[in-house]
Structure 1
C-alpha cells in the first residue's frame, strides 16, 4: 500500500509543468515488485556509463571506391605445396604459383564477377595478404592456413603485427601508381595483378620486419640487466650455458634477416617494369623499410658485442679458476714432497 502511494506521488510530480524529476529513469515505474527500484538504486543505475567500443582499423576504409588489403604474419614458414589443393577444394578458390616464384601462392575468388575481386597472396615465409576479403572469410582462410604452418606465431602476435591499408584505382592518371596523400595505395585500372603482387610483397616484408623487431626488443629486455651489472661492478648473473643460448638466438635472427629471407629484396618476376620498380620504392619509403632495417642491424650488432664481451669474461673467469686450481694442486704436491724429504732425513715417526 505504501509502495503504491509512493509510485503515484512520483507520477504526480512528473506530471507537473516545468518540474523535471531528479530521479527520472528509462524504466517503467509500476507497483510491481519486480520492476520497482528504490530512489538510491535508480540514481546508481543512471551513473553507469555505456562502454566505449573501439572500432577496428578497417572501418577507416568504408568510403565508396576505397577497398581494404590486410597482411597477417602467421608463422615462420608455410607449406605452399600442401596448401594449394586445400584452397581449391575446401575454399573453392583458383590457386596458382606466381610466375617464376614458387615461394608465393596466389588465390582468386571467381564468384565475385562484376565486383572488385577478392585475392589472396600466401608467402612461404609465413605471411598471408588478403585483398578485399571480409572479416568472416579472413577467419576461415587463416584457420585453413594454420594447418600447414611451421613454428606458428601466437594469436596476439598475428593480430598486433598485422597491417591494414586501403587501396583505390586511378582512373584519371593511369601512369601513376603508388601511395597517395591519404595514405592509400593507388593502382591502375588495368594490369592490377603485378601491382597487387608488388604491394603484397612490401606488406609481407613490413609485417615480417615488425615481428623481427618485436623479437629483438624481447631479446634486449632479457639481456638488459647485464649492462647494469657491468656498470655497477656486480656479479654476472648468467651461466655459460645461458650465454651460449643467447649467442645462438642472436645469430639465428641475423641469419634469417641477412641470408634466408627473400622478402627484403625486390620481387622476382619477368615483367618488372620501371613503373613497378617506382611503386616498390614508393611503398618501401612509406613504411621506412631501409631505415628500420638499418636500425635493427645496429641493435643486433650491439647485442652481439655485449654477448661476446660476456662470453669472453666468463671464459677468462673459468680460465682463472682453473689456474688457481692447478696452483692449489701444485702446492699440495709440494707440501707432500716437503713432508717426504723431512721425514727421510729427519725421521720423526720412528
Structure 2
C-alpha cells in the first residue's frame, strides 16, 4: 500500500503575536540585518515539539501500513483455505504490534505536560497540535492497532488449535 501525504503550511514572520490559524502560522520575531530573530525560544520549542510529534506520528503510521500489508497477504492465504504462517510468526507480529502501541501511547512527543506552568506556551503547542490533528491521528492509530492485534491473535489461536489437533492425532496413532 502506498500513500502520498502532503501538508502545506504557510509560515509568516511578523511583529504580532504568534498564532496558528487554519494552515497559516504567524511567528512573532523581528527582522534584523535581513535575518528573522525570534525572542521567544519557548514558543519556537513548542512549535518544534508539535512538528516533531507529527513527524513521529507519520513514522508510526507507515510502520502500521507495512504491517497491514503483511496481514493482507495472510488474509489472501486464508481466503484460499491456506495458512502459511507459523506460531512463531504470529508471536513475532503480536510483538511488533505491542511495540507500536507502546510507542504511540507512551511517547513524550505527544505529552504536553511539560507546559503545565506555561499556559501561553501550552496554547502554542495545542494550537499547532490541533492543526496537525495529533489527537485524532493517535486515536485512529490505536483503532487500527486494535484491529491488527485482534486479527493476529485470532490467527495465533487458529495455529494453536491446529497444533493441538496434530498432537491429539499423534497420540491416537501411537496408542494403536
Which of 1 and 2 has higher RCO (CA within 8 Å, sep 6+)? 2
158, 168, 185: which one pairs with 2:25?
Answer: 185
**In the TM superposition, what are the counterparts of 1:64-79 in structure 2 within 5 Å?**
none
The answer for the alignment partner of 1:241 in structure 2 is: 88
Q: CA separation in 2, counterparts of 1:163 and 1:208?
A: 15
Cα distance between partner residues in 2 of 1:281 and 1:220: 30
Q: Which residue of 2 aligns with 1:221?
A: 69
Describe how 1:152-163 pairs up with structure 2 within 5 A: none
2:15 aligned with 1:167: no
In structure 2, the partner of 1:195 is 43
Matches within 5 A, 1:142-157: none
Q: Return the index of the structure with the highest Cα Rg.
A: 1
Deviations 1:233-291 (A, max 9, x none): 512111122112111111111111112x1001116157512x22222221111111111
Change (3 A) 1:204 1:163: farther
Residues 148-186 of structure 1, C-alpha deviations (whole Å, 9 max, x = no match): xxxxxxxxxxxx989885533343x43xx32245x3322
Please provide the CA RMSD for this pair: 2.4
Contact 1:198-1:276 within 8 A present in 2 as well = yes
Matched position secondary structure for 1:234:
coil
Alignment TM-score, normalising by the size of structure 2: 0.82
Aligned match of 2:34: none
- Which consecutive unaligned segments of at least 5 residues does structure 1 have? 1-159, 332-350
Name the structure 1 match of 2:108: 262
**For the Cα contact (< 8 Å) 2:115–2:121, is it kept in 1?**
no
Correspondence for 2:32? none
Q: TM-score, normalised on structure 1?
A: 0.43
Aligned residues: 165
Judging by fraction of residues, say which structure has more helix.
Answer: 2
